[in-house]
Amino acid sequence: MKQMSLQGRSVLGLSDFSESEIERILEMAGQMKSILSSGHKKTDLLRGKSVVNLFSEASTRTRSSFELAGKYLGADVINITKSGSSMTKGESMRDTLLTLSAMGTDAIVIRDSSEGAAFFAKQTSSPWVKVPVVLNAGDGAHAHPSQALLDLFTVRQAGKKIRGMKYVILGDILHSRVARSDIVGFTALGAEVHLCGPRTLVPRELESMGAVVDSSLEEALQGAGAVNVLRIQLERAAGGFFPTLREYSRLFGLTEERLALAEKDAVVLHPGPMNRGIEISYDTAYNRQSMIQEEVRNGVAVRMALLYLTLTGGGDLENCH
């Protein structure tokens, strides 16, 4: 059977993708994970392609994993941060994008603190230059599609069935692009997404995306198949939305005792970086149900799948070394 092609598609948000397209990416991520586990990670599937990571906001996981993903596939990858670029001399984002595109770049992976930055990048053009495939690595509080894909992949790899699952997102949802992309992705694949946190950090309008807002943490955790604990984004002044961090931890921190309300084998996720001891207890972060490091591992496979599918369409992976 002919596989659907995502060649040339930008990945700005998961709402642009159908359920079967999301499944195609997850299936390819599975194949990429097999390559990563084979002991010989380097392939030439993207030989001759070039990828630019343009990150104007801090990142450890997303930037490193996109870089490794490109390199494992044989692409040339460069990293640009705002502080090391001519943006510090006043060059605009538009001119930066056109400059990078004029060099013949095949994909631009972009992280920015502004909502819509990836959409802006994709729409940028001049009479001489067209911006290539754009992959959104997180734009403000709007979207983080590759994170949602790796969350889906991780939950499934942990043996959980997504359709019909109660998927709980706990914490600072207001500032979270992961929450918004997870709502789209998990809902598309048939999960029931529940949101919980201080009222000030859980926007009611997210119910219009199909999520359920729970008023008590106990109610949210009851019967959950997976719990994604979000970081209190102190750099976005989230600390001003509740009295004290101690109070937050007491009322909303995920502990072993609270996790026991969920399914026996419920999966614990956290996109990282963690404020351990605040939104999640030390014991819970490192217990057997915690897939937090597995999310990081899977992030490489998922980003390999995204680069491979969008830059080539995704052909036969046999004899790829």
The residue ranges that bind ligand CP (CB under 6 A) are: 59-62, 138, 147, 271-273
Q: How far apart are CA 273 and CA 182, in angstroms?
A: 17
User: By C-beta, is 138 or 171 nearer to ligand CP?
Assistant: 138
**What is the layout of strands, in order, in the sheet containing 166-170?**
212-213, 192-196, 166-170, 226-229, 267-269
User: By C-beta, is 57 or 214 nearer to ligand CP?
Assistant: 57
Beta bridge partners of 134: 108
User: By C-beta, is 62 or 310 nearer to ligand CP?
Assistant: 62
Side-chain-side CA neighbours of 31 within 13 Å: the count stands at: 20
Which among 187, 190, 259, 257 is positioned nearest to 220, based on CA atoms?
259
Q: From the CB of 316, what's the least distance to ligand CP, in Å?
A: 31
User: By C-beta, is 65 or 101 nearer to ligand CP?
Assistant: 65
Q: From the CB of 45, what's the least distance to ligand CP, in Å?
A: 24
SS3 category, 172: coil
Q: From the CB of 300, what's the least distance to ligand CP, in Å?
A: 12
User: By C-beta, is 45 or 179 nearer to ligand CP?
Assistant: 179
**H/E/C letters for each residue in 153-194?**
HHHHHCCCCCCCCEEEEECCCCCCHHHHHHHHHHHHCCCEEE
Q: From the CB of 8, what's the least distance to ligand CP, in Å?
A: 25
Task: Tell me the residue type at 185.
Answer: G
Q: How far apart are CA 274 and CA 295, in angstroms?
A: 13
Q: From the CB of 235, what's the least distance to ligand CP, in Å?
A: 11
- Other residues' Cβ atoms within 10 Å of the Cβ of residue 40: 9
Two tokens, residue 255: 């502990």
Q: From the CB of 286, what's the least distance to ligand CP, in Å?
A: 18
User: By C-beta, is 116 or 313 nearer to ligand CP?
Assistant: 116
User: By C-beta, is 105 or 233 nearer to ligand CP?
Assistant: 233
Task: Tell me the residue type at 48.
Answer: G
Side-chain-side CA neighbours of 195 within 13 Å: the count stands at: 28
Two tokens, residue 76: 């040339």
Q: From the CB of 55, what's the least distance to ligand CP, in Å?
A: 9
Which among 54, 186, 197, 199 is positioned nearest to 114, based on CA atoms?
54
